[in-house]
Amino acid sequence: MGGFLFISLTKKYFVFALLVVIIVISIAVGKLLFCPVIMDKNFFLQLLKPKLVSVEIGFITPEFRETITIKNEKDLKQIGKVLPASKIIAGPIKRREIFWWIKLNYSNQSSANFLATKGLKFYDPSEEAWIDNKELVNLLVPFTNRLENNFFGEFLDWNEVNSLFPKNTKAEVRDLETGIILQVFRYGGIQHADVEPVTLDDVQKLKNIFDGSWTWKRRAVVLTIGERRIAASMNGMPHDGGKIRDNRFIGHFCIHFRDSKIHKSLQPDPGHQLMVKKSSGLIWNDLKYACPDDFVSILLIALSNGDSIVARYVFDDNEIEKSHFWTAFAKKIRFLQINEIRTIEENETRATVKAFISVYFFDPKKNLQHHGLRIKLNRPNTESSWTADLENLATSLESQGETVEKRSNIEDIAGCYYEGE
């Protein structure tokens, strides 16, 4: 009897509880259907909105392949929370000022793509407008900083590097653009590091970095010693002595750092110093705030090195599409010697710079001495960096100037002027 009563009571309580649940659900549904004013107007949107599952960030420069992906749920939740607060601001995009690409990936397989300046001013290509969102900037800065720190090297002075990388020790070298990594052995050097590829495989990697040919041209690299990553620049020309006998590399090549010098002149090499700035990630600030003299100096050194990445930040947006023209023209030049650069005219939006230079082409008949080549620069306002006209510059370099006397020791000139070994 007692057991029967217990079962009856249990059934009654179960039915009662079920009725309560049904009533609560009915009230909720009723509010949703008939009382939308009581509910948050974004309630349905939040239910339907796909979940942010990752955020990818990378360099807009295609040669810089390093990326970072945000997957932490706490970080994603914060990013998703501040996104709706974005303000759309109309305005033209300056492509050469774009530094990052950002991709938001959602749970429904959709994605949203944004561009950003180095300082994280966002641009939405789908809206063709800029986005103002300071909270989003604060959330993404730690990740862009981490990406830069992982990719670029420290801007360390040669005296410090000299102690970190003593003679008869090995280090790892990563080419900034190709990502190729090789091992090097420090053979010697007082004003900079004279190094050798360790193995035959390292020799081949070095040659691949320079498109299969030995050359004095400079490359931005990062030298890794233990846990330290250091901004550096190297040439690709085997010369003079070395210690390793089984790598089929006759001599050594050179790696420069901040304020290192060439051995004969005891002066810093402008080409190497520019590449060190590039491998440290500081070159873009130099370009943005450069005076006309310094801007033209960067432009001509980049041309001598055949550096198309720097070129994209030197020429106007309308010229960026012609970067292939720059690359093809740079391949004609063996080296370019800067004797003097001075500004002769400057206002807020225009400047004229005179460059006294010697251009040595691979075709010696084209070698020219320029006694005051005029290079015109433009910018829309004082907040913008200077730009140059690519094709006019190329035409002037090849046609305006006096023929340089043929030199039989052109390789020595190229090596000694730039390297001084």
Judge if 329 and 398 occupy the same domain: yes
Judge if 237 and 316 occupy the same domain: no
Q: Confirm if 341 and 355 have CB atoms less than 8 A apart.
A: yes
Tens of pLDDT along the chain (421 residues) come to: 443 333 343 444 554 555 555 554 555 444 444 444 334 444 444 445 789 999 999 999 989 999 999 999 999 999 999 999 889 998 888 888 899 999 999 999 999 999 999 999 999 998 899 999 999 999 999 999 999 999 999 999 999 999 999 999 999 999 999 999 999 999 999 999 999 999 999 999 999 999 999 999 999 999 999 999 999 999 999 999 899 999 999 999 999 999 999 988 889 999 999 999 999 999 988 988 999 999 999 999 998 888 888 877 887 665 556 667 777 888 888 888 899 999 999 999 999 999 999 888 888 777 878 778 899 999 988 888 898 877 778 778 877 666 655 544 444 444 444 444 4
Q: Are strands 129-132 and 181-188 parallel, antiparallel or unpaired?
A: unpaired
Judge if 330 and 396 occupy the same domain: yes
Q: Which residues pair with 182 in a beta bridge?
A: 173
How many domains, the chain?
Answer: 3
Give CA–CA dist 39/77, Å, rounded: 23
Q: What is the DSSP string of 226-274?
A: TTEEEEEEEEE--BS--S--SS---SBEEEE-BT---TTT-S--HHHHH
Boundary (domain end) residue, out of 151, 169, 200: 151
Boundary (domain end) residue, out of 99, 118, 151: 151
CATH number at residue 56: 3.30.1490
CATH number at residue 163: 2.30.110
* pLDDT value of position 200: 97
Judge if 289 and 392 occupy the same domain: yes
Domain-located, residue 13: no
Domain-located, residue 4: no
Judge if 235 and 162 occupy the same domain: yes
Judge if 287 and 269 occupy the same domain: no
Give CA–CA dist 104/41, Å, rounded: 25
* pLDDT value of position 44: 41
Domain-located, residue 2: no
* pLDDT value of position 323: 67
Domain-located, residue 172: yes
SS3 116: strand
Give CA–CA dist 227/222, Å, rounded: 12
* pLDDT value of position 391: 74
Tally Cβ neighbours within 10 Å of residue 381. 7
Domain-located, residue 61: yes
CA atoms within 13 A on the CB side of 138: 5
* pLDDT value of position 55: 97
342: domain range? 282-418
Judge if 171 and 205 occupy the same domain: yes
Judge if 266 and 170 occupy the same domain: yes
Judge if 239 and 145 occupy the same domain: no
* pLDDT value of position 325: 75
Cα torsion 207, 209, 215, 219 to 10°: value is -150
Judge if 236 and 163 occupy the same domain: yes
Q: Which of 155, 158, 206 is nearest to 182 (CA)?
A: 206
Q: Which of 376, 402, 381, 64 is nearest to 220 (CA)?
A: 64
Judge if 243 and 340 occupy the same domain: no
Domain-located, residue 248: yes
Tally Cβ neighbours within 10 Å of residue 109. 8
Q: What is the pTM of this model?
A: 0.82
Q: What is the DSSP letter of 421?
A: -
Residue type, 82: V
Judge if 362 and 259 occupy the same domain: no
CATH number at residue 369: 3.10.450.50
Domain-located, residue 325: yes
Under the phi-then-psi rule, with left for phi > 0, alpha for psi from -120 to 50, and beta for the rest, what region is 3? alpha
Q: What is the DSSP string of 277-325?
A: HHHHT-HHHHHHH--HHHHHHHHHHHHHHT-HHHHHHHB-HHHHTTHHH
Q: What is the DSSP letter of 213?
A: S
Boundary (domain end) residue, out of 277, 304, 319: 277
